[in-house]
Structure 1
Amino acid sequence: MQKLKFAVIGTGFWANYQIPAWLMLDGVELVALYNRTRSKAEEFARQFAVPHVYDNINELLDRHADELDFVDIITDVDTHALFTDKAAARGLDVICQKPMAPNLETARAMVETCQRAGVRFYIHENFRWQTPLRALKARLDSGIIGRPFKARVSFCSAFPVFDNQPFLAELDQFILTDIGSHTLDVCRFLFGEATSLYSQTTRVNPAIKGEDVAHVLIQMRSGLTCYAEMSYASILEQEAFPQTLVAVEGETGSIVLTHGFELRITTRDAAGKTETRSENAVPMAYPWADPAYAVVHSSIVDCNRNLLADLQGRGQAETTGVDNLETVRLVHAAYDSAARNEVIHL
């Protein structure tokens, strides 16, 4: 199959992992880079042997639109809509980092822009592609614990996230847009769509603008109640970063995804005896991945593989713009709930 050619828009922190993740896959060719600071793009071009570099996005798109198949936008959230509009206007499929947009209205507009232009639109939401979360989902779908009725999804850490991404400290809204976009998408992936939610947020770190702790209680359409908690202010006995921990209770058992990518499955036999067994779901290790982010970085490859299959007509992407719009709705409903101290019905 002929390789699909693409351009990367933005060569900041996450491009260090997004680009090598693409290069792990057959069927793609990176032909151009854009960054507003040209020297940063030039560094990436040397590292990854990319032939063309630009600090003017219009120039990149005008010169290469005829040969490109898609663009991958890896810039700050406030610029996502601008670059999506420019790529869609030239008939290019678009992959965009999460969060899709700074607000729900802009996210809807991005989806509609791509629909009107007749181009495919995807959000690079990789958390649901983490090896332990895929293993957990497979066990739930097997029916091993019967109908799930209660769950807890936790991303709580003291990891110094602002050290390598200092711009996050300047956001008026932080943890729900940053980690909440991932965590609430994981809730949807595991348990389906929500009917209502109630949220509370707080700021513990005095050096940042936004909230760094959030709690969201979600009622799912299936009848399951899910508690999602996220924090970058949690000093715990055992640091979990960057793993998402999950506990699910069902009618005939429970599953816990705990530290070290371990799944602990508890069931009861016909005689009423309870048994717990352990399974491991260790992610693939890549030489370019940061060990502190290993489970996250390996999921980038799997997310890219899923998007590429859709682009090539070999499969169906999970994290389309239309699908991710439901996650964006949850994020901003959570902010609305916290501001009003009310349950939000979806």
Structure 2
Amino acid sequence: MRAGLVGLAGLYWPIALGRALHEHPGVQFVAAATLGIADQVIQEMLGLTPAEYAARFGLQLYADAEEMVRDARLDTVVIVTRHSEHAPWAERMAALGMDIFIPKTFATTLDDAQRIVAAEQRHGVRIAVGPSARFLPPMLAVKQALDAGRIGRPFSMRLCHHHGVIDVFHPHDWYRDPQEGGPELSLGWYGIDLVLHLMQDTIQSVYAQYGNFTSPDSPFMDCGRIEMRLMGGGLAAFDMYFCNRVAYPSWQLEIVGPGGVISVHRAAADATSVAVGLNGAQGYTPLALPAATPGWESFWIDDFLQGRAPALSAATAALITQVSLAARQSAASGAPVTLEPNGP
């Protein structure tokens, strides 16, 4: 698979995804397009000039993405642009026959999400989206227990995710622009995906409350709660923390069924150490973490290489976007929002 990046003006994804592509034995990571963005702007956001990035990964730089696709004979691209530009770039790359990976935030409007899905269908390409917390070892252990029927069909889920603070973004970084999405579209992404994946149900309605408690220079909330009613009658709640400047567990979870409770909780003084357990009729049973897991940021590479449909598709990403935007609407109005039954 010959791969390239469409865009380099980002804080995290060019390095993380560039490393994943560069290190995968089935991938030739050969090109990146700056899209005409000034070297100084890219350096401020990425911490490297385009030339330094190219030297690190041994690739060819281009200004124009279409020229890059043709000249480097690519079959896969990763879009690393402003979130509000994902839809037009997906349309342009799909028209060239590219398989595409779009790192979250998938889209900032439902119209853009639908445009990306339509481009995939129109041109017969594959569009994958990520990362996905479903591939983290604790969440894989939870899913294995659910699939084995250890607690029966779950009817309630409570999830908490702590994900840093906005301080890491440069004061002029486009991430701080409200038009580029905000935390419910980037942090909410993880939790809503897990609700859909673990509860195996669709979301009927959303009620959300937001606050900004520790980030006075941020235009966004830094702490939020999303409550969801599922089509099958179940309940889910997701707490998003974008406010903690202390060591704190990244994930906590409880999922309840008629046969017991599966939990992910802190296991030691180390905030990154978690345990997965089952509380049932026989008391507490620890659940083993899988020894090998797909990369939660790079799982899509093997999907593409092996000809599989993406584990997290554009259609699912559009549904997550719909729920995220409903949460924003609910937080602004103070009222629950009922989703369209057929999705976006």
Calculate the TM-score normalised by the size of structure 2.
0.84
Partner of 1:153: 159
| Structure 1 counterpart of 2:342 | none
Give the C-alpha shift of residue 165 in structure 1. Answer: 6.0
CA deviation digits over 1:124-157, x for unaligned, max 9?
2322221211111111111111221211011136
1:262 partnered with 2:258: no
Classify 1:278/1:73 alpha carbon distance in 2 versus 1 (closer, same or farther; 3 Å): same
1:22 alignment partner, SS class: helix
Q: How does 1:170-181 map to 2 (within 5 A)?
A: 170-171=177-178, 173-181=181-189
CA distance in structure 2 between the partners assigned to 1:70 and 1:96 by the alignment: 11
What residue is the counterpart of 2:2 in the other structure? Answer: 5
- Residues 9-24 of structure 1: matches in 2 within 5 Å? 9-11=6-8, 12=10, 13-24=12-23
2: distance between equivalents of 1:126 and 1:18?
14
Given the alignment of the two structures, is residue 163 of structure 1 paired with residue 165 of structure 2, yes or no? no
1:327 corresponds in structure 2 to 320
The 3-state SS of whatever aligns with 2:157 is: strand
**What is the CA distance between 1:331 and its match in structure 2?**
0.6
Structure 2 unaligned blocks of 5 or more: 40-47, 267-272, 340-344
Match for residue 287 of structure 2 among 279, 288, 299: 279
Once the two structures are superposed, residues 84-134 of structure 1 have per-residue CA deviations (whole angstroms, 9 ceiling, x without a partner) of 122112121221111111111111112112222222222123222212111
Q: 1:216 is aligned with what amino acid? A: I
Deviations 1:22-66, CA, capped at 9 Å, x for gaps: 23433221121112345733222211122x1012324323434xx
- 1:289 match: none
What is the number of equivalent residue pairs in this alignment?
316
- 1:87-102 to 2 correspondence within 5 Å? 87-102=93-108
Task: Give the fraction of aligned pairs with identical amino acids, expressed as a percent.
Answer: 22
Give the Å deviation of 1:189: 1.2
> Residue 74 of structure 1 corresponds to which residue in structure 2?
80
In 2, are the aligned partners of 1:91 and 1:119 still within 8 Å (CA)?
yes
Q: Which moved more, 1:243-252 or 1:122-131?
A: 122-131
Q: Structure 1 residues 93, 316: closer, same or farther in 2, change over 3 A?
A: closer
Alignment of 1:39-50 (within 5 A): 40-50=49-59
CA RMSD in angstroms comes to: 2.4
Taking structure 1 as the reference length, the TM-score comes to 0.83
Match of 1:105 among 111, 122, 147: 111
Report the equivalent of 2:251.
244
Report the Cα distance in structure 2 between the residues aligned to 1:90 and 1:303, rounded to whole angstroms. Answer: 20
* Contact 2:131 2:298 (C-alpha < 8 Å) held by counterparts: no
- Give me the whole-angstrom Cα distance separating, in 1, the residues matched to 2:190 and 2:123: 28
* Partner residue in 2 for 1:272: none
Q: Distance in 2 between matches of 1:223 and 1:60?
A: 49
Q: Deviations over 1:279-327 (max 9, x none)?
A: 353887xxxxxxxxxx9x952133433x324xx42x3322111121111
Contact in 2 for aligned 1:9/1:75 (Cα 8 Å): yes
Work out the CA distance in 2 between the residues paired with 1:49 and 1:232. 35
- Which portions of structure 1, spanning 4 or more consecutive aligned residues, are displaced by more than 4 angstroms? none
